[in-house]
Chain A
């Protein structure tokens, strides 16, 4: 008895691309979809319905990819809504982008439209602080030819990938600089849930963000998509009592 549907060409059976994070999967069939979800009923999954022609999906694409990278434990399934009509129908998906957050048979959240903040909030609610080391995953190289505008958009998306984003050197568990190490420790000490971006992995963002935020150094703390300060600033905020107002709004 064949487990793999014989009507599907072999290149569609495994659609995991080498450059994307392990936990991000492009769903190509209903059996594959069901198999992925039923593997671990305790695992939290994000099902993202999209259409390649829908403009609002462009931003959502980035947000979803950012979340997949920030939360390696989050099983992130990309479902092309029209192509996977059965799956879309079973979840009553009428428009894209649409996201479902699921755990086993429980629906934890449903986000219709391009509400990146709502999606990120929902993920954070269930997965909390995820400053996990991603050293096992190769960094995604930035698009080779990117206009200034595209770079700006990309940086903004990364800044919005979670409520709090730390742009640092290295990874939270393997920082490449003392200041970045201190920044991570500070956030953990204050129990702030955050995701990170390793600026050593992307030179265009590294330089571009300094210009965008008009700040010459890293680490950089971003809250709700906005730059709030470097390490010195945030340390002072801790002392002055501003910290909670800024990070726990």
Chain B
């Protein structure tokens, strides 16, 4: 059974405090490739690799069933800055 966006949503919320979450199916509906954007205070003080490892660990099961998975992570402050810049 392919991984659905709901599966990912559930797994992420169970693992992290979520300020903002976006999940995009990049496989045109096939459920084999996702890109997520996660804003959470849990990322404070963590460098890029640490953040990726954190998410990879929490979503280990789901990711192992995917063909591709990409992630962008921000703390709430960083996300606000990011929005302001691209505003």
Contact = CB atoms under 8 A, between A and B. Distances in A.
Given A216-B63, A216-B64, A232 B47 contact: no
A153 interface: no
B48 A229 contact: yes
B56 interface: yes
Interface in B38-70: 47-49, 52-53, 56, 63-64, 70
A228 B52 contact: no
A249 to B, nearest CB: 14
B71 interface: yes
B49 A233 contact: yes
A240 B81 CA distance: 13
Identify whether the interface residues of B are mostly helix, strand, loop, or mixed.
helix
Nearest to A237: B48
A233 B52 CA distance: 7
A14 interface: no
B56 A216 contact: yes
A86 interface: no
Contacts of A242: 47-48
Interface string A201-221: 000000000000011100000
A215 B53 CA distance: 8
Contacts of B70: 232
Interface of B: 47-49, 52-53, 56, 63-64, 70-72
Given A228-B49, A229-B52, A240-B48, 12 more contacts: A215-B56, A216-B56, A216-B64, A229-B48, A229-B49, A232-B52, A232-B70, A233-B48, A236-B72, A237-B48, A242-B47, A242-B48
